[in-house]
Homo-oligomer: A and B are copies of this chain.
Amino acid sequence: MSSCDTCVVRNRAICAGLDNQEIAALNVMGRRRAVAAGEPLIWEDDDSLLVANVIDGVLKLVTSTEDGREQIVGVAYPSDFIGRPFGQTSRASVVALTDARVCVFARNDFDRFAREHPELEHKLLERTLAELDRTRSWMMLLGRKTAPEKIATFLLEMSERLDDTGCTPKVGAARRFSLPFSRQQVADVLGLTIETVSRQFTKLKNDGVIELPSRREVEIIDRGALVSIAG
């Protein structure tokens, strides 16, 4: 029995829709790997040697300047695809934010397999197009939104992606969730400093819009206010 048979993201990842024979072939090429929180999986500007599906956990895609400034350019959740197929180098590092499990493939093998399986390439294309849409709307946030707008938008997006109630499949947005990000990482997503993030969080709490039961925990009290701040 292949590990794909027991894969929890089997029907949501790009593997969905492949027939048994194809899954078997993929299964031979790939292997599961655990990545501890904080551990990198792919390095910026390195040769692109591997690609992967996220099984569980959350990972960040990050680019840095020489003088150490960081910008998180993407976040990968379970069933997301990471890495740069059909290209020589990766232009972002991939680092686990939480303990994560991924299903990794050598890029060469994956590229070859993908070219032979149009259905897989199609899935990858759809995912890449959706990611491009999401990335572009994040550009609007980075270029044109104020700090309060950025924070509100971020919290709303998180509440759609995460859910602490254990309710699966998710029904809309979560009221309460646990951030996979430290304050610094929130700052790196939004193009702000850690102090500004902290001050905006505190302000939302004081205004009764959110509760902060612990450092990573967020509870949305007044979603309407958040939507209106997000602009």
Contacts and interface: CB of A to CB of B under 8 A. Distances in A.
A133 B71 contact: no
B67 A142 contact: no
B118 A71 contact: no
A190 interface: yes
B86 A129 contact: yes
Nearest to A65: B231
Contacts of A78: none
Interface in A90-143: 91-92, 115, 118, 121-122, 124-126, 128-133, 135-140, 142-143
A73 B122 contact: no
B144 A69 contact: yes
A65 B67 CA distance: 33
A50 to B, nearest CB: 15
Nearest to A132: B132
Contacts of A115: 122
Contacts of A145: 65
Interface of A: 61, 63, 65-67, 69-71, 73-74, 84-87, 91-92, 115, 118, 121-122, 124-126, 128-133, 135-140, 142-145, 190-191, 231
Nearest to A135: B135
A138 B137 contact: no
Contacts of A124: 125
A118 B125 CA distance: 11
A189 to B, nearest CB: 8
A70 B129 contact: no
Nearest to A190: B143
A45 to B, nearest CB: 11
Contacts of A137: 63, 73, 91
Given A61-B136, A92-B136, A118-B118, 11 more contacts: A65-B145, A71-B139, A71-B140, A73-B136, A86-B126, A87-B129, A91-B136, A115-B122, A118-B121, A131-B132, A139-B142
